[in-house]
Structure 1
Amino acid sequence: MINQMSQNVLITGGTGFIGKYLTQVLLANNFTVSILSRTPRKSSGLITYYQWNPERDYIEEDAILNADYIIHLAGEGIVEKRWTAKRKKSILESRTKPITLIHSLLKKHNKSLNAFISASGIGIYGANTSEQICTEDTPAANDFLGLTCQEWEKTADTIGALGIRTVKIRTGIVFGRAGGFLKKITPGFKAGFGTILGSGSQYLPWIHIEDLSQIYLKSILDTKIEGPYNAVLTDDTTQLKFSKTLANLYGYSIWLPKIPQSLLKIVLGEMSDAILKGQRVSSEKIQHTGFEFQFATLETALYDCLK
């Protein structure tokens, strides 16, 4: 057990799917946790809640002043709603404005941190499907996801410019029991109506929420970790493989026809790119730090989430 009781981690987006799980991992490793919330919440035990409203440039300043580390997870869901111009603006600003607010308060109080760790996305490599394996050095794409992630990381780098170690965790699909991607699609599969979206050949880089949380923990503890890191498995899972594996865990083979790309594009518009296209992504850089994935196969990860 790591003796870090005096160390406080402030989390934006701490009430979400990943944030809730990560909070428990941090507590288990003797950190205290502060969480920014838009609504008043009662603090309890080793969790302290502070109010904020990034759109109004408001945050309880003690949240920043008491933090040793900040983990930035806040951001509106990418595939929650159709990508109108208004929605695109909201997706971007929900990721960048909180960082700008934090940056201004750090400067105002001449406050330092041991590290600032920001979520990012493998969407930075673009909504494409190819045999290229994307590494952290792969140039960013110029589509909506690529540009959004670029701005997200560029804003995070303003914290780094203050002399604070800054880490950017580029995440793919996150598997977990309590929410996220699986919560949305498993009801249909469980009922026997699993199917394949589009051609099925698009890659689906994924990570189990336990491994993702351990990467965040390692980013706190390992002072050599800085800059971007891909947080996905390099196992070349495609949408076809994922769907067949999930159906098999529920005891059947997929019998429904594939949902055509043309139909998904009509229904979802530009947002369909996030579903119909997917890159291969390398996890080599994070593994070179000594990190080992606990859930290293699709089958073991899905089984753990469904049992």
Structure 2
Amino acid sequence: MKVLITGATGLVGKQLSVKLAAHKIDVHYLTTSKKDIRNEPHFSGFFWNPENEIIDEKCLEGVDAIIHLAGANISKRWTRRYKQQIIESRVLSANLLFKLLKENQNQVKQFISASAIGIYKDSLSIYHTEDSKDIEQSFIGHVVSKWECAADRFASIGLKVCKIRTGLVLAKEGGMLPQVAKPVKFGFGAAFGTGEQWQSWIHIHDLVNMYVTALQENWEGAFNATAPHPVTNREMVKAIAKTLHKPYFMPNLPEWLLNMMLGEMASLLFLSQKVKPEKTLDKGFRFQYETLDSALENLLK
């Protein structure tokens, strides 16, 4: 089997590429940086520039499936220009892949796209599953809706489309965990706002395994990539402090302060999405890290 990956140099993409290699699956990857192109026996890079609709057609040679992870980091300050980049980096890149497949002979059968639980309505009480129809109306909900629409187009050319709706990714190397753990290590850990907002999370190892399983078992549809036991923001910070053997006594950081510091992007800290991976579990997928304590023990010790 051979897979084409976008976003292969990102947090998830790097670990996924290693995992695929362990499963004897060859990887083609797309990069916007020519200096990052490598040509090794089972790992080959190809240049693309979605903004200018440039892509090396050879990237499709022998490819059976595409895993689309590319997208601008949503954790930077949301200027008007950057908000547009957040959308276009996901949608224009998918559209370019769609055009490439439509215009060239290929054997691609499946399109797996990253997505996010940000599509679900902000709520302290709703327990979302993949079938939830309550869509978040904020900017992030708008982004994910457009992202998934771009992925769904691939069904029109005969591909099975799988969307991995990802929660907060916990990892040593990046994402939110090192940022939250840093002040906790110095005894300054604090919840955001009320601290009651739900945070549905996933260990990066489980996320990578989920992509591999979705590929090998040819999953189709939307699947929540979140551990079975979501926690509130206050519980998250307390658990990090407990794992690091640090005190937890600081008052919550007020919403107005974080808004002043981070701008509109601070809204991500206060979104509450309690999510259950119902279809994921129904597929027989088993999480190695089902509880937050087990995930933190692995990542912070």
Q: TM-score range by the shorter chain?
A: over 0.9
Q: Which residue of 1 aligns with 2:175?
A: 180
Q: CA deviation at 1:84?
A: 2.3
2:23 is equivalent to residue 29 of structure 1: yes
Amino acid at match of 2:68: H
| Residue 55 of structure 1, aligned match among 51, 63, 68 | 51
Is contact 1:112–1:164 with CA below 8 Å preserved after alignment? Answer: no
Q: Secondary structure at the match of 1:234?
A: coil
Determine the C-alpha separation between the residues in 1 that align with 2:120 and 2:265: 16
Q: Which residue of 2 aligns with 1:118?
A: 113
| Residue 243 of structure 1, aligned match among 233, 237, 240 | 237
Q: Which residue of 1 aligns with 2:208?
A: 213
Determine the C-alpha separation between the residues in 1 that align with 2:142 and 2:106: 30
2:76 is equivalent to residue 80 of structure 1: yes
Determine the C-alpha separation between the residues in 2 that align with 1:268 and 1:77: 14
Q: CA deviation at 1:129?
A: 3.0
Q: Secondary structure at the match of 1:156?
A: helix
Determine the C-alpha separation between the residues in 1 that align with 2:28 and 2:185: 37
| Residue 224 of structure 2, aligned match among 230, 237, 242 | 230
Is contact 2:185–2:246 with CA below 8 Å preserved after alignment? Answer: no
Determine the C-alpha separation between the residues in 2 that align with 1:220 and 1:27: 13
Determine the C-alpha separation between the residues in 2 that align with 1:110 and 1:187: 50
When structure 1 is superposed on structure 2, of 178-187 and 95-104 the one drifting more is: 178-187
Q: CA deviation at 1:268?
A: 2.4
2:42 is equivalent to residue 46 of structure 1: yes
Amino acid at match of 2:223: Y
| Residue 125 of structure 2, aligned match among 126, 131, 134 | 131
Is contact 2:196–2:233 with CA below 8 Å preserved after alignment? Answer: yes
Is contact 2:4–2:63 with CA below 8 Å preserved after alignment? Answer: yes
Percentage of pairs with the same residue: 37
- The superposition leaves residues 253-290 of structure 1 with CA deviations (integer Å, 9 ceiling, x where unpaired) of 21222110121122223222210121111111100001
Q: CA deviation at 1:114?
A: 2.4
Q: Secondary structure at the match of 1:79?
A: coil
Q: CA deviation at 1:75?
A: 0.4
2:281 is equivalent to residue 284 of structure 1: no
Q: Which residue of 2 aligns with 1:262?
A: 256
Is contact 1:106–1:112 with CA below 8 Å preserved after alignment? Answer: no
Number of corresponding residues: 298
Q: Which residue of 1 aligns with 2:152?
A: 157
| Residue 246 of structure 2, aligned match among 245, 248, 252 | 252
Q: Which residue of 2 aligns with 1:15?
A: 9
Q: CA deviation at 1:111?
A: 2.4
- Which ranges of structure 1 fall in alignment gaps of 5 or more residues? 1-6
Q: Which residue of 2 aligns with 1:146?
A: 141
Determine the C-alpha separation between the residues in 2 that align with 1:221 and 1:157: 20
Determine the C-alpha separation between the residues in 1 that align with 2:298 and 2:10: 20
Q: Which residue of 2 aligns with 1:170?
A: 165
Amino acid at match of 1:169: I
2:275 is equivalent to residue 275 of structure 1: no
- Which ranges of structure 2 fall in alignment gaps of 5 or more residues? none
- The superposition leaves residues 69-116 of structure 1 with CA deviations (integer Å, 9 ceiling, x where unpaired) of 1100000111222x2221211101110111100000101114241211
Q: Secondary structure at the match of 1:15?
A: coil
When structure 1 is superposed on structure 2, of 227-236 and 19-28 the one drifting more is: 227-236
TM-score w.r.t. length of structure 2: 0.95
Is contact 2:244–2:300 with CA below 8 Å preserved after alignment? Answer: no
